[in-house]
Structure 1
Amino acid sequence: MKKIYLFISLLLATASLYAQQSRIITPFDDSWLFYKGDATGAEQTAFNDKAWRKLSVPHDWSIEGPYDQANPTSRGGGYLPAGIGWYRKQFTLGKTYASKNVTVEFDGVMANSDVWVNGHHLGKRPYGYISFIYDLTPYISYDKPNVIAVKADNSLQTASRYYTGAGIYRHVRLVAYNTVHFAPWSVYVKSPVATVAKATVQIQAQVVNSTKVAGEYKVTTTVLDAAGKTVSTAGSAKTVAAGQTVDFSFDAQVANPKLWNLDEPYLYTAVTRIAKGSEIIDEVKTPVGIREAKFEAATGFWLNGQNIKIKGVCLHHDGGAVGAAVPLSVWEQRFKLLKQAGVNGIRTAHNPVAPEFLDLCDRMGFVVMDETFDTWTASKPGAAKGYNLYFTEWWERDTRDMVMRDRNHPSIVLYSVGNEIHDSLKDSVGFKKYRDQQNLIHKLDPGRPVTMALFRPNVSGVYANGFADMMDVVGQNYRENELIAAHEAHPNWKVIGTENTHVLSMWLALRDKPYMAGQFLWTGIDYLGEAAWPETTNNQGLFTRTGEWKQQGLQRQSWWSEKPVVHMVRKSDNDGAGNWVADWTPVDFGTYDNAKVQVYSNCDEVELFLNGKSQGIKPKPADDSPRDWDLTFEKGSLKAVGRNKGKEVAVEEFKSAGAPAKILLTATQDKLTHNFDDASIVKVSIVDAEGNVCANADNMVKFSISGSGILQAVDNGDIISHEQYQGTEHKAFQGKCIAIVKAGAGSGTATLKVSVAGLPEASIALQITK
C-alpha cells in the first residue's frame, strides 16, 4: 500500500511539474518607474523615463500626502491629493514564453486606467476597484525588452464619498499559458451537496482552443485535502474545435468531508487540468470550502445546518497609514481584533476588494457580503463625478469580472449590487436596473443570493411597490423597526440589516427577532475620508485605524463574544461630560471628582472596586444595557470583576498613571520576509514607572531603523492629525502610536529604535529572512 501511495505521489508531482511548465505565473510588482503628474508620450517605448522614481507596486501615492483642506478630494477623500500618475516597467521574456499566450493581470488600478505595451493601447477601465486582464501576445517581443505603461487618472473630483487611493495600488502578475487553455476565471468549483456524510463538488470550466486544429481534450479535477492527500478525482472529455471555447462540467464525490465553518474554516484544493493524451496542457488550483449556506424567511441564516446570526461589520478598503496599498498582514491583524470582538461577517463596503482579502476571509472563517457599487446612474453628495458617470456603459462588465473572480470563495454567502442607491426605484426603469444585475449574478454564480442596501425604503416606496419582492434577501440600512415591520407584513421575505449603528436598540433587533439573519455595523475599523475638516477620518469604527479598542468595540464584545467579558469606561470630563475613555487617569486630577462609569459585560454579575473597596454588585440586565456607577473619583485602582454562577470569570483593572517614565514596544510579528504582504505593526506605548499607559501623553515620538528593515509608515489614530504617515516622527495620541515595518534589502536583523525626549530610548529587533 505504501508503494502505491508513493507511486501516486510521484505521478502527481510529475504532472504538477509539467503543469507548471504549461502555465507560468510571474509576480510583476517589482522594478516600476513612477511619475506623479501627466507625461505626454509616456506610453511610447522610447520615452525618456530616467528621472522617474523607482518603486514596487502595490503603491498608493495619494497617502503620501500632504493633507490640505484645499485638495479637490475634499471630505470624501480625506483631503489627500488626487491627480494623474504614470507607471512604466521594462521587462524581457525568455524563449519559454515564445510559444505561449501572455497576459497581464491587474488586481486594481485607481482610477480611469489606461494600459499600453510597446506603444499599443490595451484598454481602459474607469472603475478603480475592479480586477482586469489584458492579452499582451500580439504586441510583445521575445528577443528584446518590452515596455508596459500605465496611466492612472483620478483628477476628476469629487469622485468618492470615502478614500480611494491613487495608482497601481494592488498586485500585478504575468500569466502565460498554452494556446489551449482555461479561459480566465472560468474554473468554477462549488459544493451543491454538503453534509458531514458526503459532498458533491461540482466543477465547471471553459476550455479555449486558439489553435487552427481541433482536438480531443480531457479536463480532470483532483480534490486534495489540507495535507495534500487525494480524496476525489473526476473528469470529462470533449472535442474542442479550432478557434472555439467549450464548456466542461462534472461532479466529484467526497466522502465524510470536513465542512468549512466559522470556527474551523477547512479548505480543500481542487487541481483542475487540461490534458491531451498524457500531456498536461494547463492547470488551475482552486481553494475549496465545502459548506451549505442558506437564508430562510422565518429563521435567518444557516451554515451547515446550524442557525447562526451574522454579526458583521462594514469595511472600507484602506488600511489607515498605508492607504489603499494594504499589506495582507495589516488585514490579518485587523481580522484578529474583529474576531476578538465577536465579529463573524464582513461587508465589502462599497466595492470589490483585493482577491487576497477574500482569501483571508476564507482562511480565518468570516462570511462575506460581496458588494459591487456605491452608485448607479444617480450621483451622491461628495461624489458627483464618480462611478455614476460610467455605470451605464460598464456595470455589466464590472459585475461579471467581480463575480467570476470571486465566486469560488466559500466565505461569500451574499452579493450586494448597491449601497443606498439614489436612482428612482419606483418605475420599470429602476426595476430593470436591479433585475438585470441580479439576473447576471444568478447566471454566473447560481445558488448564491443577491441583495442591496436599501435607502429609506418607506420613503422610496420599495416595500409597497413590488421592488423588494424581487430581492433574494431584503437588505436595509438603519431604521431597523421599518425592516421588522416590513417582514411582519411579508413573512415570506428573507431579511438582513446591511448597515447598522452601535446603539443598543439595533443589537436587540438582531438578538430578539429570529428572522433577522444578521447585521453589518457601520463600521468595523475607522477609515480615511468621509469626515469634515479638521477631521480626516471617519471614527465610527469598533477600532481606531491603528487597532486600538474603542468604547463601542468594548461594548460590542460584551454582546457578541462567546467568552466572558468585562470592560470599564468612564466619561473623560467631570460630572459626565466628554467622551467615553477606558482608563483611570483624568487630564486634571484636581478638577475631576464625579466619575460616571459604565461596565460592559456578558457575565451574570459584576462587582466594582475602587481602591479595594466594593462599590456594589449589579446583575446582568435583561436588555444587555450597560451597568452604571456614579463614583467620587479617587486616584489609584478601579477594578471590575465578572462572575458566572458565583465564580470569577473575567477581570479588568485600571490604575491611575503617573508621569511618563519609559517606552514599551510590542510587535505583531518578529519575523519578516521579502514580501509586500508581510509587515509588522510595532505599537509604541508611553508608560509610567509601573507600566501603566500614560493616557494623556502626546509627546513627539522619533523613529530610526537600521539593518534590513524599512519604516513603511507611522500613525497614532488621531482623526484630526494632519501629520504625514511616511516619515520618521509622529506625536503620540492617548499615550500610543505605531510604526509599520517591512523587510528591506538583504536579510538579518532590523532594529527599530524609538525615542521620546526625556525618556530612555527603546528598541525592538525583527528578523528578516529571504
Structure 2
Amino acid sequence: MKRIFLLWMFIAPFWAIAENEHREADFNFDWKFYLTQDNSKDLSIPIDDAQWREVRLPHDWSVEAPFDSTLTGSTGYLPGGVGWYQKHFDTPASLEEKSVYVLFDGVYNNAEFWLNGKKLGVNPYGYSPVYFDLTPHLNTNGQENIMTVYVDRTRYADSRWYPGSGIYRNVKLVTVDKLHIPIWGTFIKTPEVNQHSADVSLDINIKNDTKKTARFSFETKVFDPQGRMVAQQSSAHKISGRKEGLFHQELKVDNPQLWSPEQPNMYKAVTYVLNNGKPVDEYETPFGIRTIRHDADKGFFLNGKSTLVKGVCLHHDGGLVGAAVPRGVWERRLALLKEGGVNAIRTSHNPFSKEFLDLCDEMGFLVQNEIFDEMDYPKDKRYNLTLREAMYITDGYEHHFQEWAERDLKRTIRRDRTHPSVFEWSIGNEIEWTYEGYRHVSGLWDPGVKGYWNRIPDLSPEEMKARYEALPERKYKLADTAKKLSDWVKEMDTSRPVTANLIIPVASLASGYADALDVVGFSYQTNQYNWSKYHYPDKHFTGNENSGSWHEWNEMLENPMVYSMYMWTGIDYLGEAQDKWPQKGWDGDMLDFGGFKRQGWDHFKSIWINQPHISVYSLPIAGTQFKVDKLSGKPVPKKGKLSKWRNLANKHWNYQEGDTILVEVSANLPVVELFLNGESLGARSLAECPDHIYRWAVPYQEGELKAVGGFDGARISDQLKTAATPAKFKLEADHTVLAADGYEVSHVVVQLYDANGLPVRSEEREIIFEVKGEARVLGVDNGWNKSVTPYYSDRITTHEGKGLLLLQSLKGKSGKVEVIAHSPGLPDQKVLINVQSNHIN
C-alpha cells in the first residue's frame, strides 16, 4: 500500500496537468477572417464566411500590410481597418452537466462578440483579458456553433506606439462542471517565509451553476519545482444554488525553495473539487514562494535581501510579428536581456499577455505591471496631423475610461496577481500631461523658463500647492482619479505596492496625486530625488523610466532609497516615430527590431554583471556628440559637458583613410588600453570616463583595432578587424528541431563574411529565401529602424551584414524543412529544420 501511495504522490502533478489541459482547450486554430474599412456592422450575424481567408490566432492584421508614408508615424506607418473573425465549432460537452466559457487574453480593440448571432458583450480596451459564458447560447441539437468577433481599428492613430490589430493574444475554450472554480478563481500569497518554512495562503472561489445547494469538498496539493508533493489540505463546505462563494486554505511548506531572478523556483497548487465524493473540477495554480518589502529609506528587499532593480521598459510588439508575438520570440529576447544583466521589466504602458508573464515567472524577471497610459483626458497623438484630421483617428481609451476602467483594472489584476514575477502595480504613465495647466504648477514649465528638464524647483511645496489650487476647475482631478484606481487595486491585492510613472513629480506631490501611491516613480527627473525626499520625508521615491545613462545607475548606488531604473527602452518598438519617415519606430537601448544586440547591451552588461567584460565599437567623429580636443587629441563632448551615451556606434573597422574615428569601449575594468595594428594608442581609466565608456579619437588605418584590459593571467580583449568585400554568408537557426504544434519558432539568422571568414558589417546584400517543407514564414527583418521592407516578404537587404527569417511549425505537420538562401554573386546556403510530432522543447 505504501508503494501505491508513493507512486501516486509522484505522478499526481502529471495527471493534474492532463486534467487542466482538458479544462482549457486551445481555441486558436481554424478561424476565418475578413478585413474591411466599413465599420457600419449592418450585417446579419453570423455572416457567410465562405470567401473569407483562414487564419490562426494569435493574429495581427496590421503588420501584414506594407509600411505607408501617408499614414502616421505614431503607430508605425501601418494601417488599421475593421476585422471580422468567425470560428465554427461543435458544442464540447453535455450542457446539463457542464458550463462552457470562452477566454480572450487580448483583442485590439473596440471588440464585440457574438455566439450563434446572440450578443455576448463588448470590450473596448485592447489590453485587458475578457471572458464570456457561452452556455445559454450553445446549440444542443447537433448543429455547429459560430463564434463571431468584430474589431474596429478605424481609429488607426489611437495610440502613441504600435498597438496591433485583431485577436492578437491566445484564446481558450474553458469547459467545467456546473460546480467549479471559475476563471482566475484562485489567489495565492506567501505572507510569512523563512529558510525553514513558508505559509501559503490560498483564496478559492467556487461557483454553483445548479439550482440546488451543493455540498462539496475540495483538496489542495502543493508540488515543489521537482514535482514532489510537499503540502496538502482538505475541507468540506456547502454553497447555495446559483451562487459563488469565497473559501480559504492555509498550508505550510517546509524548507521552501524561494523564487528570485537568480533562481526562479516555481511551485504548483492543484485544487480538486469533489461533489458527493465525485471529482468534478481541478484547478492548477502556478506560484512562487517569495517575500517583497519596500522601505522608504532603504529601498527594495526581495526575500529579505536588498535588491537593485536593473530594468527595461518594453512595448508589447515583437518587430516583424507585430503584436501577435509567439512565445519563442519573447523567449529569445528575454534570454538576451537576461544575459545582459536585466532582472526587471516594466510593461509600458499597458498589461501584457499571460504568456509573457508566464515566461517572466519561469525565466526570473521582476515585473512592474502597468495598467493605463490614458485616463480622464487624451494624450496628443497627432504628430503631423492637424486637429481636424485627428479628431476621429486618434480617439483612444479616454472615451471609455469612466465606464470601463474599474472592470479592465480588476480583470487584469485578477488574472495576474498570483504571478511571483509581478511585484508592483503601476496605475498609469505620465498622466500629468493631459490635465490642463498641470505642468506649470512646478514653475519649471513656465513660459520663458529655460533648462526646465531635470531641474530642482525654485518654488516651495506650499507655493506649488497654491498654484495647483488656483487652476481652473475641471470635471476630473488627477488626485481623485489616482485615489480611485489605487483603491481598486487594493480591493484586489494588498500584497504589492501601487506606483505610477510621474513625469512632473514635484507637481504631483503638491497636487495630492502622489498621495495615492505607495512608491512614487519618477519618469527621468533624477535631480529631484533629494529635493523631494527633503520636503516629503515619509514618501518613497525611485525611477520608473530612465534614459539609460550611467548617472542614473550611479544614483541607485549612492542613494539607498532609489532601488530601480528602467531604461527607455530595452528593445526597439514600432511607432512613436514622430513622422520621420522612413524611421518606423523608437530605438531601444539593448536590442534592435531583429533581436540583435546593440552597443547598449554591452554597455549595461559591463556595469550590471559582476564579470570582466570588454567590447569595442566605432563611428566617425563627424556627426557625433564628440569632437577632438586639439591639445590632448582626446574626444570631448561638443557642449562642454558629458553628453548622454547613445546607440550610435558600429561594430566594424571599415572607413576611409584620413577619417578620424571615435572608438568607444564598454568595460568594467579599471584600465583599458587600445592598440591599432599592435601599436598602443594609450590607456584610459575609469577616473577619466565617468559614464563608463572609454573613448579614443583614432586616425583610421586598415587593420586590427584591439582593446585589452585586466591583469596578467586574467587579461581579456575585444577587437575589430577590417573586412573585405562579402564573399559568402552563413545561415544559423536557433532551433533546428521544432514541435509540430503550430507554435514553436526558429530564428534563421544571416551573416555576411569576407573570404577570410571575417564578418562584414559595413556592406549589404539582398538575401532571397526559399522555404521547402511544412512550415510557415512569419516574416523577414534586418533589425534596422529605417527599413521599410514589408515584413511579409521572401527577401531582405541585410543591415550591418545581418538579416533574419522567422519560421513557425504547422500543427500536425512533421517532416524536414529546408531553408535555402540566395544572394546574387554569392554561394547559396541552406539550413535544415526537423519538425517532429513528438518533440518537447
Same fold (TM over 0.5): yes
Q: Alpha-carbon deviation of 1:17?
A: 9.3
Aligned to 1:52: 52
Q: Partner letter of residue 824 of structure 2? A: A
Q: Alpha-carbon deviation of 1:687?
A: 1.1
Q: Partner letter of residue 709 of structure 2? A: G
Contact 1:640–1:651 (CA under 8 A) maintained in structure 2? yes
Q: Structure 1: where are the runs of 5+ without partners?
A: none
Question: CA 1:46 to 1:619, structure 2 compared with 1: closer, same or farther past 3 Å?
Answer: closer
Matching of residue 33 in structure 1 with residue 50 in structure 2: no
Task: Please give the secondary structure, in 1, of the residue aligned with 2:759.
Answer: coil
TM-score (norm 1): 0.95
Contact 2:9–2:229 (CA under 8 A) maintained in structure 1? no
Q: Structure 2: where are the runs of 5+ without partners?
A: 383-393, 439-467, 470-475, 627-646
Task: Please give the secondary structure, in 1, of the residue aligned with 2:404.
Answer: helix
Contact 1:526–1:537 (CA under 8 A) maintained in structure 2? yes
Equivalent in 484, 508, 511 of residue 557 of structure 2:
511
Q: Partner letter of residue 220 of structure 2? A: T
Contact 2:190–2:200 (CA under 8 A) maintained in structure 1? yes
Q: Partner letter of residue 580 of structure 1? A: L
Equivalent in 627, 630, 634 of residue 701 of structure 2:
634
Contact 1:327–1:676 (CA under 8 A) maintained in structure 2? no
Matching of residue 692 in structure 1 with residue 758 in structure 2: yes
Matching of residue 494 in structure 1 with residue 540 in structure 2: yes
Aligned to 1:133: 131
Matching of residue 483 in structure 1 with residue 481 in structure 2: no
Q: Partner letter of residue 8 of structure 2? A: I
Q: Alpha-carbon deviation of 1:591?
A: 4.4
Structure 2: distance between partners of 1:580 and 1:352: 31
Contact 1:18–1:280 (CA under 8 A) maintained in structure 2? no
Structure 2: distance between partners of 1:727 and 1:401: 38
Kindly report which structure 2 residues correspond to 1:535-554, keeping only aligned pairs within 5 A, or say none.
535-554=583-602
Kindly report which structure 2 residues correspond to 1:244-283, keeping only aligned pairs within 5 A, or say none.
244-283=243-282
Matching of residue 584 in structure 1 with residue 652 in structure 2: yes
Q: Partner letter of residue 653 of structure 2? A: T
Aligned to 1:442: 490
Task: Please give the secondary structure, in 1, of the residue aligned with 2:237.
Answer: strand
Q: Partner letter of residue 50 of structure 2? A: K
Contact 1:97–1:176 (CA under 8 A) maintained in structure 2? no
Aligned to 1:99: 97
Quick check: 569-578 or 82-91, which moved more? Answer: 569-578
Question: CA 1:5 to 1:235, structure 2 compared with 1: closer, same or farther past 3 Å?
Answer: closer
1:531-580 deviation digits (Å, cap 9, x = unpaired): 02221111143210112222233222212122211111222356968973
Structure 2: distance between partners of 1:366 and 1:435: 28
1:589-641 deviation digits (Å, cap 9, x = unpaired): 2342x222121111232222211222233333384532222222221111112
Task: Please give the secondary structure, in 2, of the residue aligned with 1:265.
Answer: coil
1:317-338 deviation digits (Å, cap 9, x = unpaired): 0000000000011111111111
Equivalent in 623, 634, 648 of residue 714 of structure 2:
648
Q: Alpha-carbon deviation of 1:505?
A: 2.2
1:305-350 deviation digits (Å, cap 9, x = unpaired): 1111101000000000000000011111111111121110000010
Q: Alpha-carbon deviation of 1:43?
A: 6.7
Structure 1: distance between partners of 2:199 and 2:731: 50
Contact 1:576–1:595 (CA under 8 A) maintained in structure 2? no
Kindly report which structure 2 residues correspond to 1:124-203, keeping only aligned pairs within 5 A, or say none.
124-142=122-140, 143-203=142-202
Matching of residue 730 in structure 1 with residue 796 in structure 2: yes
Matching of residue 219 in structure 1 with residue 218 in structure 2: yes
Aligned to 2:833: 766
Question: CA 1:548 to 1:445, structure 2 compared with 1: closer, same or farther past 3 Å?
Answer: same
Kindly report which structure 2 residues correspond to 1:553-572, keeping only aligned pairs within 5 A, or say none.
553-572=601-620
Q: Alpha-carbon deviation of 1:253?
A: 0.2
Equivalent in 477, 492, 501 of residue 429 of structure 1:
477
Structure 1: distance between partners of 2:96 and 2:731: 52
Question: CA 1:157 to 1:763, structure 2 compared with 1: closer, same or farther past 3 Å?
Answer: closer
Structure 2: distance between partners of 1:465 and 1:14: 54
Quick check: 375-384 or 426-435, which moved more? Answer: 426-435
Aligned to 1:419: 429
Contact 2:772–2:817 (CA under 8 A) maintained in structure 1? yes
Q: Partner letter of residue 559 of structure 1? A: I
Question: CA 1:762 to 1:97, structure 2 compared with 1: closer, same or farther past 3 Å?
Answer: farther
Kindly report which structure 2 residues correspond to 1:339-488, keeping only aligned pairs within 5 A, or say none.
339-382=338-381, 384-421=394-431, 422-424=433-435, 429-458=477-506, 461-488=507-534
Structure 1: distance between partners of 2:70 and 2:719: 45
Aligned to 1:757: 824
Aligned to 2:6: 6
Contact 1:611–1:636 (CA under 8 A) maintained in structure 2? yes
Give the number of aligned pairs: 762
1:674-733 deviation digits (Å, cap 9, x = unpaired): 334411111101111122222122221100101222221100112122110011011111
1:41-62 deviation digits (Å, cap 9, x = unpaired): 7974663211100111111010
Question: CA 1:17 to 1:719, structure 2 compared with 1: closer, same or farther past 3 Å?
Answer: closer
Quick check: 470-479 or 555-564, which moved more? Answer: 555-564
Equivalent in 656, 666, 689 of residue 600 of structure 1:
666
Q: Partner letter of residue 483 of structure 1? A: Y
Question: CA 1:381 to 1:752, structure 2 compared with 1: closer, same or farther past 3 Å?
Answer: same
Task: Please give the secondary structure, in 2, of the residue aligned with 1:235.
Answer: strand
Q: Partner letter of residue 545 of structure 1? A: F
Structure 2: distance between partners of 1:499 and 1:319: 20
1:447-466 deviation digits (Å, cap 9, x = unpaired): 210011012223xx222343
Equivalent in 113, 116, 123 of residue 115 of structure 1:
113
Contact 1:195–1:259 (CA under 8 A) maintained in structure 2? no
Question: CA 1:381 to 1:276, structure 2 compared with 1: closer, same or farther past 3 Å?
Answer: same
Contact 1:682–1:738 (CA under 8 A) maintained in structure 2? yes
Alpha-carbon RMSD across the aligned residues, in angstroms, is 2.2
Structure 2: distance between partners of 1:62 and 1:687: 35
Q: Alpha-carbon deviation of 1:28?
A: 0.7
Question: CA 1:164 to 1:18, structure 2 compared with 1: closer, same or farther past 3 Å?
Answer: closer
Contact 2:618–2:653 (CA under 8 A) maintained in structure 1? no
Aligned to 2:576: 530
Structure 2: distance between partners of 1:740 and 1:15: 35
Task: Please give the secondary structure, in 1, of the residue aligned with 2:827.
Answer: coil
Quick check: 611-620 or 514-523, which moved more? Answer: 611-620
Task: Please give the secondary structure, in 2, of the residue aligned with 1:462.
Answer: helix
Q: Alpha-carbon deviation of 1:485?
A: 2.1
Structure 1: distance between partners of 2:587 and 2:152: 28
Task: Please give the secondary structure, in 1, of the residue aligned with 2:509.
Answer: coil
TM-score (norm 2): 0.87
Structure 2: distance between partners of 1:702 and 1:20: 44
Contact 1:575–1:596 (CA under 8 A) maintained in structure 2? no
Matching of residue 287 in structure 1 with residue 355 in structure 2: no
Q: Partner letter of residue 58 of structure 2? A: P
Contact 1:681–1:739 (CA under 8 A) maintained in structure 2? yes
Equivalent in 767, 775, 781 of residue 715 of structure 1:
781
Task: Please give the secondary structure, in 2, of the residue aligned with 1:284.
Answer: strand
Task: Please give the secondary structure, in 2, of the residue aligned with 1:580.
Answer: coil
Contact 2:658–2:700 (CA under 8 A) maintained in structure 1? no
Q: Partner letter of residue 533 of structure 2? A: H
